[in-house]
C-alpha cells in the first residue's frame, strides 16, 4: 500500500483505468466495469457488490451528468466519500483504544 499522497493519487488513476479500459469509452466506467471495480477493489467495504440493484443504485448516484457512464471525476467522488467514512471509523477506533470520550 502507498504511504504517500502522490503514490495514492497515481494508484487511484491506475485502478480507474484498469477497469475503464475494458469496454466502451476507455476513459469512463460502464455499469459492468463499475461492478467489477467495486467487487474486486472495494468488496470488503461495500455490502453486496454482486447484487445488481446495489450496483444500479451506486451507478445512479455517481453518474452526476446522467450520461450512463462514470467518468474519473464522478468516481473520485465515491472514493472521497468512502475515505471520509474510513477516517471517521479510524477516529472512533482510536478513541475506543485510548479510552478518550472526545
Number of residues that bind Ca ion (CB under 5 A): 3
Figure out which of the listed residues 65, 73, 83, 87 binds Ca ion, where binding follows CB under 5 A.
65
Considering the complex, state which of residue 57 and residue 95 has its C-beta at the smaller distance from Ca ion. Answer: 57
Q: How far apart are CA 71 and CA 27, in angstroms?
A: 7
> Which of the residues 82 through 101 are near Ca ion (CB under 5 A)?
none
Three-state DSSP at 69 gives: coil
Q: Looking at residues 1 to 60 of the shown chain, list those that interact with Ca ion (rule: CB under 5 A).
A: none
Alpha helices in the chain (DSSP H): 5-20, 31-42, 52-62, 72-98
The 10 Å Cβ neighbour count of residue 59 is 19
Considering only the stretches 13-21, 63-71, 77-85, 87-95, report the one whose residues sit in contact with Ca ion under the rule CB under 5 A.
63-71
As a whole number of angstroms, the distance between CA 51 and CA 49 comes to 5
- When the beta carbons of 44 and 73 are compared against Ca ion, the nearer one is 73
* Residues at the site binding Ca ion, with contacts judged by CB under 5 A: 63, 65, 67
Amino acid at each position: 500500500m502507498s504511504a504517500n499522497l502522490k503514490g495514492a493519487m497515481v494508484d487511484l488513476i491506475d485502478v480507474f483505468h484498469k477497469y475503464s479500459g475494458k469496454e466502451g469509452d476507455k476513459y469512463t466506467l460502464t455499469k459492468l466495469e463499475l461492478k467489477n471495480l467495486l467487487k474486486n477493489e472495494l468488496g470488503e467495504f461495500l455490502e453486496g457488490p454482486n447484487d445488481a440493484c446495489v450496483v444500479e443504485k451506486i451507478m445512479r448516484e455517481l453518474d452526476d451528468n446522467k450520461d450512463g457512464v462514470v467518468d474519473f471525476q464522478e468516481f473520485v467522488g465515491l472514493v472521497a466519500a468512502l475515505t471520509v467514512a474510513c477516517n471517521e471509523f479510524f477516529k472512533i477506533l482510536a478513541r475506543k483504544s485510548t479510552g478518550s470520550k472526545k
